[in-house]
């Protein structure tokens, strides 16, 4: 099997070295770019499996790099941002990034994000190859055609909004969805009170879905950012 090719976009050479050394020792192949223009060029000419993208680049905004790549590709993009760029991180997710890492990060965090993204890629490829309209994740099954969800084979009694939320998260398994993205999809707007409602619906959905709602297995909370459905083994 081919080792996955990762494009590392980072202008800070010490961070870049940390990332590329980690990739090397964990059997990834990599390419690197230190500005936005060369990132776009490398992404288009080498078609990497995953892009690790620093948001603060010398020549252009990392968010514009995401927008450009999204005009031709859905390749997973993991954003790397400094803590001071928190609102940029949310803008980046809304622009189509899949996940994020906040500086400073550990090697373990980096590898965990890559694994989540690889599982998401594998799942997307399965979905594209199969004609099945049934989603399976751990003990959760969603029959999209029938409009029903099951946990351990027993039907979950969900309200229409809880079901919509569950479907939205499942269609994007492994990907962090921002509050704005979710409320836009569910209610068509993203006012503050929609985000408050989202929190309420998410709590009731979790009560039905999670064995332990306080340490959820399926739906992860990203405080101040949004939610993500995890791929459960
Ligand atoms: Ca930078």
Q: Whole-prediction pTM value?
A: 0.83
Task: Give me ligand 1 centre to Cα 11, in Å.
Answer: 5
- Closest Cα to residue 23, out of 49, 55, 44? 49
Over 90: is that where the pLDDT of 220 sits? yes
Q: Would you state the structure tokens that stand for residue 84, as one six-digit string?
A: 């001071």
- Closest Cα to residue 202, out of 180, 175, 221, 177? 221
Helical H segments across the chain, by residue range: 13-25, 36-46, 62-70, 86-94, 107-129, 160-171, 179-187, 192-209
Task: Give me ligand 1 centre to Cα 94, in Å.
Answer: 20
Task: Give me ligand 1 centre to Cα 151, in Å.
Answer: 44
Task: Give me ligand 1 centre to Cα 77, in Å.
Answer: 16
What spatial distance separates the first Cα and last Cα of the chain, rounded to whole Å? Answer: 22
Percent with pLDDT over 90 in the chain: 77
The pLDDT, as a whole number, for residue 155 is: 96
Task: Give me ligand 1 centre to Cα 117, in Å.
Answer: 22
Q: Distance between CA atoms of 113 and 228, rounded to whole angstroms?
A: 13
Percent with pLDDT over 70 in the chain: 96
Task: Give me ligand 1 centre to Cα 20, in Å.
Answer: 15
The string of pLDDT tens digits covering residues 12-67 is 999 999 999 999 999 999 999 999 999 999 999 999 999 999 999 999 999 999 99
Task: Give me ligand 1 centre to Cα 8, in Å.
Answer: 12
Task: Give me ligand 1 centre to Cα 203, in Å.
Answer: 37
| Lowest-confidence pick of 60-64, 130-134, 162-166, 193-197 | 130-134
Beta bridge partners of 32: 8
Q: Distance between CA atoms of 8 and 21, rounded to whole angstroms?
A: 11
Task: Give me ligand 1 centre to Cα 212, in Å.
Answer: 39
pLDDT band at 131 (very low <50, low <70, confident <90, very high): low
pLDDT band at 209 (very low <50, low <70, confident <90, very high): very high
Q: Which residue has the tokens 């332990």?
A: 212
Over 80: is that where the pLDDT of 164 sits? yes
CB atoms within 10 A of CB 65: 29
**Do the strands 99-103 and 134-137 form a parallel or antiparallel pair, or are they unpaired?**
unpaired
Averaged pLDDT, 130-158:
90
The string of pLDDT tens digits covering residues 67-84 is 999 999 999 999 998 877
């Amino acid at each position: 099997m081919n080792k996955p090719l990762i494009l590392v976009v980072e202008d800070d050479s010490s961070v870049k070295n940390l990332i590329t050394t980690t990739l090397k020792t964990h059997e990834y192949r990599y390419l690197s770019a230190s500005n936005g223009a060369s990132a776009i060029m490398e992404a288009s000419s080498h078609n990497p499996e995953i892009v690790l993208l620093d948001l603060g680049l010398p020549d252009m905004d990392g968010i514009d790099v995401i927008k450009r790549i999204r005009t031709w590709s859905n390749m997973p993009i993991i954003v790397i941002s400094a803590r001071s760029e928190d609102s940029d991180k949310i803008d980046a997710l809304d622009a189509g990034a899949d996940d994020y890492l906040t500086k400073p990060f550990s090697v373990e965090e980096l590898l965990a994000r890559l694994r989540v993204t690889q599982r998401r890629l594998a799942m997307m490829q399965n979905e594209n190859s199969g004609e099945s309209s049934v989603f399976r994740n751990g003990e959760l099954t969603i029959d999209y055609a029938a409009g029903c969800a099951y946990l351990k084979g027993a039907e979950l009694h969900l309200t229409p909004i809880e079901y919509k939320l569950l479907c939205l998260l499942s269609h994007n398994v492994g990907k962090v969805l921002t509050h704005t993205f979710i409320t836009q999809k569910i209610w068509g707007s993203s006012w503050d009170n929609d985000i408050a409602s989202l929190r309420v619906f998410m709590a009731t959905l979790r009560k039905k879905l999670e064995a332990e709602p306080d340490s959820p297995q399926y739906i992860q909370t990203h405080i101040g950012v949004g939610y993500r459905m995890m791929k459960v083994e």
